[in-house]
Amino acid sequence: MTGLPETTELLAELIAYPTISPDSNLDMIACLANYLEAAGAHVEVLQDGTGRKANLFARIGPEVPGGIMLSGHTDVVPVADQDWTSDPFRMRADDAKLYGRGSCDMKGFIAASVAMAPLFADRALKKPVYFAFTHDEEVGCLGAQALVEVLRGRELLPDMAIVGEPTSMRIIEGHKGCCEYSTHFTGLEGHGSSPDHGVNAVEFAVRYVNRLMELKEALKTRAPVGGAFEPPWTTINTGALIGGVAHNVIPGRAQVDWEMRPVQKSDADFVRGDLHRYCEEVLLPAMRSVSPDASIETEVVGEVDGLIPTSENEARDIVMELTGANGAGLVPFGTEAGLFQDLGMSVVVCGPGSIEQAHKPDEFIELTQMGQCLGLLERLSQRLS
């Protein structure tokens, strides 16, 4: 397979960068920039406000409108408290599998894309191929959101994107959105023997969770007719309720961590609007009748649009043609794809490796999957030229 040795070698190099989301990804971005510049790409490294993270956006081919973007995230999830049989940041090859943190999610696709850059550069491309490698996907798609804002004002943009998340090279045309929040309750501490003299933040947090549970059931009635997602309605999950210090102390602070995965934007508006009214009209008046300084504040951890299936999707159709697939599906996990769709691109999710291996100890990607991805990219280079 063309490019497989080079891809494997590059993947080993990328896995060696411990780009866990809280840590810097600058060294990996510099590595990718060097490879792409050597292939003749026009490369931009876009640092975030901290100076510790960066996105990479590069182009090979003519400076004309259109083209296709190959997209991947550089960050990986932590390995702490996981039982690995080998160093997670040193690639191990065994039984036609490549092991290491990020091997499938999603440094395998990034390695394949960059290893094929010289081939794209050697073609007489009529439309450009872009490379978009982002930071902090695993903690709210922060890098992709920043990249989209940079690209939004530009005239020359790709009109299609392939997001190479691990789908076992299945073609994915849709997934739900993902909105994550932490709601903070500030009450008034006191002695447990005098509950009326304090504002129990935990109790108000529990009432908030009860409201989330009511909304969780109400959303089932809002499922779109014929919806293909499983389940077909927007879901809510309460991930944590944190608060309290002792049995006999009225807790002055509490926190609820929760998420929803909307199938349509109107559901997200429905949930946020209902919770706002419930806090303003019910919970806060009760809290402030005892303590005027009581508060409820919701922190937005991340709000990522879903990828909405559409009848017309050029990216999907091209990848189906290049792979010989006869259909496209949906997945329950989120990606950056919806952000690029909102920018006006047609988007498909398709990449090597299985999501079943992602985030787990001894994460791996199969060499056959890498070969299939390289085959797709090689045929794409022919189509663009």
Q: Report the catalytic residues.
A: 75, 137
Contact criterion met (CB below 8 Å) for 373 and 169? yes
- Output b/e per residue, 224-240; b: 16+ Cβ within 10 A: eeeeebeeebbbbeeee
Rounded to 5°, angle at Cα 348 from 235 and 260? 15
CA dist 240 to 184, 193, 237, 254, 257, Å? 12, 27, 9, 10, 5
Contact criterion met (CB below 8 Å) for 65 and 156? yes
Q: How many whole angstroms separate alpha carbon 372 and alpha carbon 378? A: 10
Q: What type of residue is 24?
A: S
3-class secondary-structure state, position 8: helix
> Where do the H-state alpha helices sit in 108-200?
108-115, 117-122, 142-152
